[in-house]
Amino acid sequence: MGKFSDFVLSLKEIVIVYILQYIVILGSSYIYLSIAPRGDVMNFLTTMGYILLILFDIIVAIYLYLKNKRKDNKVKAMDYFPVVYLGIGMAVTLNMFIFLFDMNNDASNINIYLAIISSGIVGPILEEILFRYVFLNKLRKFFTTRNAILLSSLVFALLHGDIVTMLYAFIMGFVFAYVYVKYNNIKISILCHISSNVIVLFLTSFNIWIMLLGLFGIWISIYLILKDNKKNVLMN
């Protein structure tokens, strides 16, 4: 079987999860309209629809983790700091560029608490298990680690909407994949992802000082991560 066929087959879990998510959204909307024909569908989707999707994502994340469970390396407590700071620094810097060039089209009406739970916590956990723990590890069986990271980041990006969001997702996906492979621990990439997603929820406009803090966070984090030379990820 060729590498292309292997790559396509590796997408199985991603395709199934995304299809099921749409079924949850459309199915719950259909049931809601059957009960309340004149109801406000958008209001339903931003409240109960979101809650149902959160519950679905939790169930899927647990299932995928248990089905594909592997032994993670132990990570020192001090290793978490630069990784979390890297997630925050990258998210802050990229979003400041987006605000600077007026490329932000997000006009979400989701309750902030639901957004933190969904986009800030549950979403990152599911995406890390799905794209890194499952998909990336499958790709590493027949691609080099570097190419597997790039391919997984590309697929991650393509599932994130418009061109600006896709570029943002590709860069962040690359970061998440890199730290996962370097430390071989899914918890560390999950924390990196959560930190970046949560901070974004509180960024509303361009601020040069916040951008400088983000750039400093990237610099110090990369320095600390690369200082640990136990594994040169991109050379494999």
On the CB side of 81, how many CA atoms lie within 13 Å of its CA?
6
pLDDT band at 199 (very low <50, low <70, confident <90, very high): very high
Q: What would the pLDDT profile of 1-45 be if each residue is shown by its tens digit?
A: 578 888 889 999 999 999 999 999 999 988 888 888 777 878 888
DSSP state of 161: -
What's the pLDDT score for residue 171? 97
Position 229 pLDDT exceeds 80: no
Q: What would the pLDDT profile of 35-54 be if each residue is shown by its tens digit?
A: 887 778 788 887 888 899 99
The sign of the torsion formed by the CA atoms of 67, 70, 75, 80 equals negative
What's the pLDDT score for residue 235? 59
Q: Which of residues 160 and 148 earns the better pLDDT score?
A: 148
What's the pLDDT score for residue 41? 79
128 contacts 193 by C-beta, under 8 angstroms: yes
Element (H, E) at 158: helix 145-158
Neighbours of 29 (CB within 10 A): 17
17 contacts 155 by C-beta, under 8 angstroms: no
What mean pLDDT do residues 158-164 have?
88
On the CB side of 135, how many CA atoms lie within 13 Å of its CA?
29
Q: What is the average pLDDT score of the chain? A: 90
DSSP states of 70-84: -PPPP--HHHHHHHH
Take residue 43 and report the two structure tokens written for it.
Answer: 């209001």
The sign of the torsion formed by the CA atoms of 22, 193, 126, 140 equals positive
What's the pLDDT score for residue 196? 97
Q: Tell me which residue of 50, 60, 58, 55 sits closest to 25, measured CA to CA.
A: 50
What's the pLDDT score for residue 112? 86
pLDDT band at 170 (very low <50, low <70, confident <90, very high): very high
What's the pLDDT score for residue 107? 53
Q: Which of the residue ranges 55-64, 156-165, 193-202, 221-230 would you say has the lowest mean pLDDT?
A: 221-230
Q: Tell me which residue of 46, 70, 210 sits closest to 140, measured CA to CA.
A: 70
